[in-house]
Structure 1
Amino acid sequence: MAGAGTSPLERATRLSPDDPFPEELLDLSLEHLQILHSRICRQLELEYLTDPAGGHPVTLDRAHELQIEFTSRLLR
């Protein structure tokens, strides 16, 4: 998804399905979790705007994992 026509800044503000994703979200600070969530949200926005099929399955799964982690931290 990180196309040749995108700038390094644009790529740094999103997390494409090909970019690495932490295996364990529990190890991240709340600040890093929020940054990761922002990057995933920006990627989802791009995918919904550019692909008639909607969000990429990997991006959707990552957004779901982040939501689960936020919810579990709220309940602790």
Structure 2
Amino acid sequence: MTTDAHLSVFEQLDLPDTSLTRDTYAHAAQATPAYIHDHCVRSYVFARAHAQNQLCAPVSTTTTNCCSSPASCTTWD
């Protein structure tokens, strides 16, 4: 993660950057208190890091393929 102030939150946190995610992010930011919205973003970032640590690899923008052990994993480039 970078701390460059000129980068958007999507760039800083490497969030999925589509029109749908930007619209959803903006709606959630407007519709919920800041502490709830920030918690949700932190939870997503933490879950993604945990999944990567558990040998999960993204298959697409909506699904993942997780392995229970390195021996059962496919190598992703």
**Shorter-chain TM-score tier:** 0.3 to 0.5
TM-score w.r.t. the length of structure 2 is: 0.35
TM-score w.r.t. the length of structure 1 is: 0.35
Larger radius of gyration: 2
Normalized per residue, which structure has more strand? 2
